Structure 1
Amino acid sequence: LRLDLKNRELLTQGQDTIATGTNIWVIFGLGFLGGLIALLTPCVFPMIPLTVSFFTKHSQKKSKGIINALLYGFFIVLIYFLLSLPFHLFDSVDSQILNSIATNVWLNLLFFLIFIFFAFSFFGYYELTLPSSWANKMDAASSKVGGVLGIFFMAVTLAIVSFSCTGPILGGLLGGTTLAEGEVASNLTAGMTGFGAALALPFALFALFPAWLNSLPKSGGWMTTVKVVLGFLEIGLALKFLSNADLVGHWGILKREIFLGIWIILGIAMTLYLFGMYKFPHDSPVKKLSLGRKVTAFVSAAFTLYMILGVTKVTNLKLLSGFPPPEFYSIFEQESDCPLGIDCFKDFDEGLAYAKKVDKPILLDFTGWACVNCRKMEENVWSDSEVFPIIKDNYILISLYTDDREELPENEQFNFQFESGRVKEINNIAQKWGTFQDVNFGSISQPFYVLLSPDLEVLNTSIQNSDIPTYKNWLLEGLRNNK
């Protein structure tokens, strides 16, 4: 698996590290958005004025009440941050273990079933709750202990009581971080912290400005509508996990057109619901559509129409890049199972031999069947009219799938010993190319691109997510260095 790379040090020279930092903040933002959505659910929203009033009224000094409310908000953030820490233990065992977990066929199927289960709870067919004894014990502890520790137990009580609404959203956050580029554990910590920050924000703000409580809308049927919309979104996300399992397992069940067709049906169903054409068990009769509900219905209808136009090839679906299966994974016969129909090799040695034969440089593409950002790069950057011909005509593309669970032939299975002395079994394609990437290029994330000459000279720095001009210049510089 080890390569004798020439000019290896060029891989990281001047490498842009902003992308990883930006990704962490994006995940934090998505977690924060999830927390804001959770605030609008009937499990959390009514607790805001009650809890803030408790702190402001039950403290002798106004300043003491504000401090307690702020402390309460801090503990909410801390609780969700702490919930993410155990996932870092997995990463310390094997650099690839979290990627292996995230792309595991059976785990993705489990995610699919869990999300469907969550969706129907949002539709009102049953309630998801943690054992009431947990909440009672935490509430009793907060009353008995008092002080800072008592406030902490109150925050734990909120997390438990609100689980029926926050659980499905947190499940989506957990699933979403496994689809994002970078380290899964770090992504999860960023997302969970963002989620906790959004939940804590109103308690801090309303404690500082209690007069704002009067401007809060009253609890009501609109919160039920929020839960139903979340239910439709949960089903849509559940399909992504079923698609991951289908792609990694090479089952050929959920092809691109079928996937999009189901999303279109969901979009139509959600639009009709928002327009009041039918209702779910916990819905009250719709006498008049609110402005917010009308706007959401029109947005849903527009998005559904966009998908219909994409399936019929009237327009592309770049806004959805990475979520549906790749275009070559189609119910219609395709000339190639490589990105954009470009001829590619899926074995490094075969690709290297051909590159030497035709004397062309190599574009080494570490990718994955379930890699969202890989599809975004292929469909948004590689497809560009200036980038596409550079790759197609000037490079030999070697795409190595680091999540492909297909077993290697017995005579190709082996044990690999790292410099630390640790031995790893290499039994399938994912283990082979994932370890190959880690050992030779010091990276485990995808997409990850390297330019090599036929004699294994590194031609440029490695690159990951990129915009069109940067990627085009990166390819051209590799060609110049090859000459």
Structure 2
Amino acid sequence: MKHRLLFFTCLLTWCFNAQVLDPIKWTTSVEKISDTEYNLIATANIDAGWHLYSQTVPEGGPIATTFTYDNSEETFTLNDNTVEEEGHTIQDPVFEMEIKFFERQAKFIQNVTVSKETATISGFVEFMVCDDTRCLPPTEIDLEFQLSEKTNLSTKTKSDITPTTAIDKRTNSTDDSSSNKGLWSIFFIAFLSGFAALLTPCVFPMIPMTVSFFTKQSKNKASGIKNAIIYGICIIVIYLLLGVAVTGIFGADALNALATNVWFNIIFFILLVVFAVSFLGAFEIMLPNSWANKVDSQADRGGLVGIFFMALALAIVSFSCTGPIVGTLLVEAASKGGLAPIIGMFGFSLAIALPFALFAAFPGWLNSLPKSGGWLNTVKVVLGFLELALAFKFLSQADLVLQLHILEREVFIAIWIAIFGTLAFYLFGKIKLPHDSPLSHISVGRLSLGLIVLTFTIYMIPGLWGAPLNIISAFPPPQDYSESPYGVGFSKLGSGGKASAHGELPEGAHLLAPHDIMAFNDYDTGLAYAKKVGKPVMLDFTGWACVNCRKMEQNIWPDPSVLNILKEDVVLISLYVDDKRKLEDDEIVDSQLKPGKKLKYIGQKWSEMQTIKYKSNSQPFYVIIDHNEEKLVDPVGYVPDVEDYHTWLEEGINNF
């Protein structure tokens, strides 16, 4: 019975994988703006369950959608870049970055100005699609835009498969809920930041002063409650205007693109360091006093105008404490793009406004507030340390993009250990900063916070020796971006420090870290070696940016039963379909899948081989063959179960 189930499982897997997939269809249309100006519209119709990547993908992430227009005869001019729809943005857990994609349908619009008479504009789009278990190599599709008096003239294009690159899929939400979750997280973080700002020396003492003003100026309780609500709304409006201004000045898409820009990250690293040093007491960031005086004079006018200027005065006077927090929030929100800066400012201002409005409406509650004192500066200093730690996230992103290897994982973690270790000493009263009050004893709250920070600091120490540190995985560089990818003092898995289980490495072979599996990246070289040593070949059609390929290598291959087979019983040939290295001149041949096109890159060669020979174009894709290049077992794709994958390997070897 077990063998029958295995047979049907393999049969279904083969039926699922052994097909040339074509989940996206492109159509073109033209919208005439004037006699010389047109919008070229390319529409992608995407099958259910598949995703198309955006044009803007962060450095080190998957392959982006790219449009190229043929202007060899100089008949038109491109106006700005190709515009795309909002799409969905998620935090990808594997790439550790935000990635944007489209579902169902996506429209891309390119505005052009025609300078010479022409009937058509040609071009092509290179794109990639993924579902939850596999990805297809980027496909190059020819596009033709018929310039006509009619608008929305639809022209269907031929969808040929020209494999070039492979990327795998994210595991998160598949609809608007993903972007909504991102906005909700921004709101929640901003809301908590607003409460943190309340507990600073610039803001907290102003609560009783404001409440006193409203209780004295209001004729009755109902009037006081109304004025308090208006005051709270004015605070929200002021900060919302700031969020709207940031979004309006830079633009939603530009903000998202800036998040991956090297100079953006370096500038905001410097900015956050300045904010942190300010919070630690070196200096204060203040707006000109003349602004506060002018606004304060307007607050005496009374009515709605007076209440609004009172709220504006609060924002200006408290800027030395709220400014760094607001600045940090806007930096983080700007990196998300879209409405994130507005949502962030709404959450922050709501947390600020609620206490002022509630205490003004119910002044009796003031008796429950703690008195102002040195603890307010402690809150400010703690925020300064957090700002300083966050600053290095931006510097790390710049280092990753430039591949300078200056701020590698160990260095980043060491800096965080130093920052949070110093914070722990501060909370325990061992370090005093400029604006601290004399400390005769440590409160229970301060001691508890100090213990939490110390625990977190100790937790990070094993990260210097290769521990994954899952709690903070979104902040430090990935584990392979380090001085010791295997971990400091950690032996290579299963090798005992030797070069390879196969002995000396043959020509063309290398070791895959950290498992020390010997692999070839050239088909002919690997096959020749397999014939020499008398072992079957396992073809691994993979990609450098293939998420599920990495999952298989990190979660399935390390299992002892699987690892032993990969190291001892087969010759592994890893063929990267997204290898952008150029082929030698004598290796460039015509594509069999797309007449008239040349195979120029190594990745194109392996991708076309997979498509033609094995009728599949998704990765990961595993094939076990004999020395006559015949399949020994039905190929499989992404197999997240160790036992299933091991059974498949055993069957292939037994058939050799």
TM-score, length-normalised on structure 1? 0.69
Structure 1 contact 360–454 (Cα < 8 Å) conserved = no
Tell me which of 324, 332, 338 is aligned to 1:176: 332
Structure 1 contact 243–325 (Cα < 8 Å) conserved = yes
Residue number in structure 2 paired with 1:241: 394
Q: Is 1:281 aligned with 2:297?
A: no
Rounded Cα–Cα distance in structure 1 between residues aligned with 2:577 and 2:513? 10
Structure 2 contact 276–388 (Cα < 8 Å) conserved = yes
* Partner-residue secondary structure (3-state), 1:240: helix
Residue 16 of structure 1 aligns to which amino acid in structure 2?
D
Report 1:235-314 matches (<5 A).
235-313=388-466
Residue 176 of structure 2 aligns to which amino acid in structure 1?
T
Report 1:149-228 matches (<5 A).
149-178=305-334, 183-228=336-381
Indicate how the Cα distance of structure 1 residues 378 and 358 shifts in structure 2: closer, same or farther if over 3 A, else same. Answer: closer
Rounded Cα–Cα distance in structure 2 between residues aligned with 1:294 and 1:32? 25
C-alpha deviation, 1:331, in angstroms: 1.5
C-alpha deviation, 1:472, in angstroms: 6.2
Rounded Cα–Cα distance in structure 2 between residues aligned with 1:135 and 1:454? 69
Rounded Cα–Cα distance in structure 2 between residues aligned with 1:74 and 1:340? 59
Rounded Cα–Cα distance in structure 2 between residues aligned with 1:205 and 1:383? 56
Residue number in structure 1 paired with 2:229: 70
Structure 2 contact 427–449 (Cα < 8 Å) conserved = yes
* Partner-residue secondary structure (3-state), 2:434: coil
Residue number in structure 2 paired with 1:137: 294
Structure 1 contact 73–204 (Cα < 8 Å) conserved = yes
Structure 1 contact 44–162 (Cα < 8 Å) conserved = yes
Rounded Cα–Cα distance in structure 1 between residues aligned with 2:438 and 2:392? 30
Structure 1 contact 328–340 (Cα < 8 Å) conserved = no
Structure 1 contact 365–398 (Cα < 8 Å) conserved = no
C-alpha deviation, 1:208, in angstroms: 3.2
Rounded Cα–Cα distance in structure 2 between residues aligned with 1:72 and 1:194? 16
Q: Is 1:7 aligned with 2:177?
A: no
Rounded Cα–Cα distance in structure 2 between residues aligned with 1:382 and 1:195? 42
Residue number in structure 2 paired with 1:449: none
Indicate how the Cα distance of structure 1 residues 271 and 7 shifts in structure 2: closer, same or farther if over 3 A, else same. Answer: same
Indicate how the Cα distance of structure 1 residues 197 and 336 shifts in structure 2: closer, same or farther if over 3 A, else same. Answer: farther
Residue number in structure 2 paired with 1:324: 476
Rounded Cα–Cα distance in structure 2 between residues aligned with 1:155 and 1:6? 58
Report 1:388-407 matches (<5 A).
none
For residues 234-288 of structure 1, the C-alpha deviation after alignment (integer angstroms, 9 at most, x for no partner) is 1101111111111112221111100100110111111111111120111122101
Q: How many residues align?
A: 380
Residue 329 of structure 2 aligns to which amino acid in structure 1?
L
Indicate how the Cα distance of structure 1 residues 101 and 77 shifts in structure 2: closer, same or farther if over 3 A, else same. Answer: same
Structure 1 contact 364–398 (Cα < 8 Å) conserved = no
Structure 1 contact 327–340 (Cα < 8 Å) conserved = no
Residue number in structure 2 paired with 1:34: 193
Structure 1 contact 123–280 (Cα < 8 Å) conserved = yes
Tell me which of 176, 183, 191 is aligned to 1:24: 183
Aligned residues: CA RMSD: 4.0
Rounded Cα–Cα distance in structure 2 between residues aligned with 1:378 and 1:290? 52
Rounded Cα–Cα distance in structure 2 between residues aligned with 1:397 and 1:55? 70
* Partner-residue secondary structure (3-state), 1:245: helix
Residue number in structure 2 paired with 1:121: 278
Rounded Cα–Cα distance in structure 1 between residues aligned with 2:385 and 2:447? 17
TM-score, length-normalised on structure 2? 0.52
Structure 1 contact 112–238 (Cα < 8 Å) conserved = yes
Rounded Cα–Cα distance in structure 2 between residues aligned with 1:69 and 1:209? 10
* Partner-residue secondary structure (3-state), 2:338: helix
Q: Say which structure is richer in helix.
A: 1
Residue 120 of structure 1 aligns to which amino acid in structure 2?
V
C-alpha deviation, 1:204, in angstroms: 2.0
Rounded Cα–Cα distance in structure 1 between residues aligned with 2:365 and 2:472? 38
Q: Which structure is larger by alpha-carbon Rg, 1 or 2? A: 2
Structure 1 contact 177–187 (Cα < 8 Å) conserved = yes
For residues 29-51 of structure 1, the C-alpha deviation after alignment (integer angstroms, 9 at most, x for no partner) is 00001000000001000111111
* Partner-residue secondary structure (3-state), 1:277: coil
Residue number in structure 2 paired with 1:385: 555
Gaps of 5+ in 1: 344-356, 367-376, 401-452, 461-470, 477-483
Residue 259 of structure 1 aligns to which amino acid in structure 2?
F
Indicate how the Cα distance of structure 1 residues 364 and 251 shifts in structure 2: closer, same or farther if over 3 A, else same. Answer: closer
For residues 102-136 of structure 1, the C-alpha deviation after alignment (integer angstroms, 9 at most, x for no partner) is 22222222211121111121111211110011111
C-alpha deviation, 1:311, in angstroms: 2.1
* Partner-residue secondary structure (3-state), 1:85: helix
Structure 2 contact 300–306 (Cα < 8 Å) conserved = yes
* Partner-residue secondary structure (3-state), 2:185: helix
Structure 1 contact 365–397 (Cα < 8 Å) conserved = no
Indicate how the Cα distance of structure 1 residues 329 and 209 shifts in structure 2: closer, same or farther if over 3 A, else same. Answer: same
Tell me which of 41, 46, 49 is aligned to 2:208: 49
Rounded Cα–Cα distance in structure 2 between residues aligned with 1:190 and 1:396? 45
Structure 1 contact 122–231 (Cα < 8 Å) conserved = yes
Rounded Cα–Cα distance in structure 2 between residues aligned with 1:266 and 1:194? 28
Gaps of 5+ in 2: 1-19, 25-45, 51-102, 105-172, 487-509, 519-537, 567-571, 580-609, 620-638, 645-656
Report 1:345-356 matches (<5 A).
none
Residue 287 of structure 1 aligns to which amino acid in structure 2?
S
For residues 295-319 of structure 1, the C-alpha deviation after alignment (integer angstroms, 9 at most, x for no partner) is 1110110000000122234x43000
Structure 1 contact 71–151 (Cα < 8 Å) conserved = yes
C-alpha deviation, 1:339, in angstroms: 12
Q: Is 1:104 aligned with 2:261?
A: yes
Indicate how the Cα distance of structure 1 residues 333 and 301 shifts in structure 2: closer, same or farther if over 3 A, else same. Answer: closer
Indicate how the Cα distance of structure 1 residues 382 and 321 shifts in structure 2: closer, same or farther if over 3 A, else same. Answer: farther
Rounded Cα–Cα distance in structure 1 between residues aligned with 2:575 and 2:351? 47
Indicate how the Cα distance of structure 1 residues 193 and 48 shifts in structure 2: closer, same or farther if over 3 A, else same. Answer: same
Indicate how the Cα distance of structure 1 residues 249 and 363 shifts in structure 2: closer, same or farther if over 3 A, else same. Answer: closer
Higher relative contact order (CA 8 A, sep 6+): 1
Rounded Cα–Cα distance in structure 2 between residues aligned with 1:397 and 1:82? 49
Structure 1 contact 118–168 (Cα < 8 Å) conserved = yes
C-alpha deviation, 1:28, in angstroms: 0.1
